[in-house]
Structure 1
């Protein structure tokens, strides 16, 4: 590789760290610069709501690489100074401090931020969000002193923090507008599983409920007033209503935007051939699924950068991995793979009540779109293969634990 080239990565999270690692592993010996708005070295975010808050891990445990790695691999870190603008014509990035960097190739890995709610009381002391290690440190301090927590939103972050808070002895009240938790992510059938799980752990779960305001006293949050007039008293409030992709830089630079993110092809290349995008902001064409998808999952931040790195170096590559995510809440651990925004039915095999089962999402033609193992730690590759086969399956056979998923894959691949 020509050592005169400069590659710039905007975003110093997991995706940014994996991108520079992939570029160096592929032989790029030019200048590499990583720009980030946080002062911390790149780190992974899933432990924030689980292991870190539970006291099982420290930041060092999920920091991607130590400081010495970046020095040893001649990677420049510009931390604590976010990018302010991009000029694609000049191929420059201007930072918030006014400095400017030229680039030959640019990778956007800007991630997401927590969505805010326009509620009365939203700016009060004691209203928390969870997106960064600094947010997690503030919650950890809260958990040491508080007796109760009100959570707005029963999505992944809301439920994971709820489980951790219960493990640390806090009383937790969760308010969710949908009829079940995780309805947008998993649908009503699996949402009911998580509702039962949290209620079994004495969580006050208010479903189909709206929040009118965050109650305050002397500028501090004291709980919630719901749309029906009922109230919840709590020592603090966590707002966990989803993420907002950080696409403003890309949009201002004139890149094509859609599906809530930066439009990229299967190689993760944007409408500008010199700019790539990965992670939460990438609305990518998916060759296997035949659709453009954008998912806010850890697996994308982990795996997409290697594909983008290949493209930045002029090598052919496509991102074909199926969407994947996981969670750990109380005694429930699960892994999900696939993409089923418009499914027709869910088929279960195993012990649903005992929370040791597999769920499959099927379309109208009984093709498997996605699968999830709950407290079962094998067979995920077979589920991936079954999704990839795109073959019609008999739901009754799929539900039968006596029939191995691997055998269904073989049958599907053979056309029998």
Structure 2
């Protein structure tokens, strides 16, 4: 079947990359992008970092307006897709329009998780997912002195760092026993705990927030923990993770399970529909288990995989996942996934460099680095799908220096 019309639902990084990659791969048909936010597609990662400081919209826009005109991409903003008619291959929008497709790409992303906390919908509780959220937070932060953050993951800690650099008092309330528990090793959690404590951030672990209210004794709002401790602040940032936007897909009968289920080609249970990014649950190239990644890079790589398939060049998604987070002057970069990791080795480099090598049954599966871009890039090459496995003993022989190991591998391959 000829693909004359491709519709992309979602105008985030993944949706944008799908449209751009289709044109790069030579697709000449119609491309329509539909997104519920007003304005041009933009990058989300800077919202909790650089954008919070300077609010420069142009610096986070993925492309200027003329890019879409020149590449014949029909951008429909401030519009929500309400329904998918799979039988007739069409989507129905909140504006009442019915838009036909030959192939549909779902890039619906994720939304902030709302935890079952009493009073969580109080007006002084904010989330951070969109540019509008960031603008509101930035404005509120200007007049605030005390900030409460619920959640010690990437977003919460990035915002905490910005707030501390602006001189605000900050407390981070994390129900788990350590920072970024789902994303990093215990060793890296401890490293960032020291960084934040040294900068004056108060960190509280192991107790969930059970209630928020506007009855603070000294500030407009209060957060109370399960053990009875309470903290007063000018506002609360809720940064307790995200949930995939899978409801649209589920309503039309597509398979879902913590995301829209896709195969290694990012194809859903409907041959005319693909899904990518934060909303997609796909098979891990290493283990085959269904996983979902909240990562700009994964969304972009998914988009490129789909574009190649739709232009007659199908290849399975096998890209190595990688992530990053900027907190104060510490740049955390992660290569690979720590699935099954049971052992770690820590190496402190020059200055503020810090590296954690994670192993599963003595095989290197993930490398976490701080302020060590070279080590991160080398790790991505060594861990790439199809590369020769790296084992504990291999690294031990070269003093856990990835560059030295790569050099030795090249020398052995040339002999």
TM-score, normalized by the shorter chain, greater than 0.5: yes
CA contact under 8 A between 1:54 and 1:167: conserved in structure 2? no
Which deviations, in whole Å up to 9, do the C-alpha atoms of 1:284-335 show, x marking residues without a partner?
A: 2243454432110111122221111122233212221111111111121121
1:234 aligned partner: 233
Is the counterpart of residue 367 in structure 1 residue 363 in structure 2? yes
3-state SS, counterpart of residue 74 of structure 2: strand
> Alignment RMSD, CA only?
2.3
Distance 1:68 1:217, change over 3 A: same
Residue equivalent to 1:206: 204
CA contact (8 A) 2:375 2:403 kept: no
Match of 1:51 in 2: 50
Mapped pair 1:320 → 2:302:
no
Aligned residue in 2 for 1:141: 139
2:95 is the counterpart of 1:97: yes
Partners of 1:224 and 1:288 in 2: CA distance: 42
Give how far 1:216 is off.
1.0
Mapped pair 1:61 → 2:59: yes
Q: For 1:269-348, list aligned pairs within 5 A.
A: 269-348=267-346
Give 1:177 deviation, angstroms.
0.9
Deviation of residue 399 (structure 1)? 4.8
Aligned counterpart, 1:406: 406
TM-aligned CA deviation for residue 221 of structure 1:
5.0
Distance (whole Å) between structure 2 residues aligned to residue 178 and residue 396 of structure 1? 33
1:70-81 alignment runs, 5 A limit: 70-81=68-79
Q: Distance in 1 between matches of 2:400 and 2:48?
A: 35
Unmatched tracts of structure 1, length 5 or more = none
- In 2, Cα distance between equivalents of 1:270 and 1:157: 30
Q: 1:382 to 1:402 in 2, by over 3 A?
A: closer
Query: What number of residue pairs does the alignment pair up?
Result: 409
Taking the aligned partners of 1:308 and 1:386, their CA distance within structure 2 comes to: 25
State the alpha-carbon separation in 2 of the partners of residues 82 and 175 from structure 1: 34
2:83 counterpart SS class: strand
Aligned to 2:75, the other structure's residue is in SS state strand
Structure-2 separation of matches of 1:249 and 1:403? 46
Distance in 2 (CA, whole Å) between partners of 1:386 and 1:18 is 26
SS at match of 1:378: helix
Distance 1:288 1:363, change over 3 A: closer
Which SS does the other structure have where 2:183 is aligned? Answer: helix
Tell me, what secondary structure is at the counterpart of 2:88? coil
Shift of the 409–83 alpha-carbon distance from structure 1 to 2, 3 Å rule, reads farther
Helix, strand or coil for the counterpart of 1:134? helix
Match of 2:163 among 162, 165, 175: 165
Q: CA deviation at 1:337?
A: 0.8
In structure 1, C-alpha distance between the alignment counterparts of 2:199 and 2:410, rounded to whole Å:
41
Where does structure 2 lack aligned partners over 5 or more consecutive residues? none
Q: Secondary structure at the match of 1:154?
A: coil
Structure 1 partner of 2:221: 222
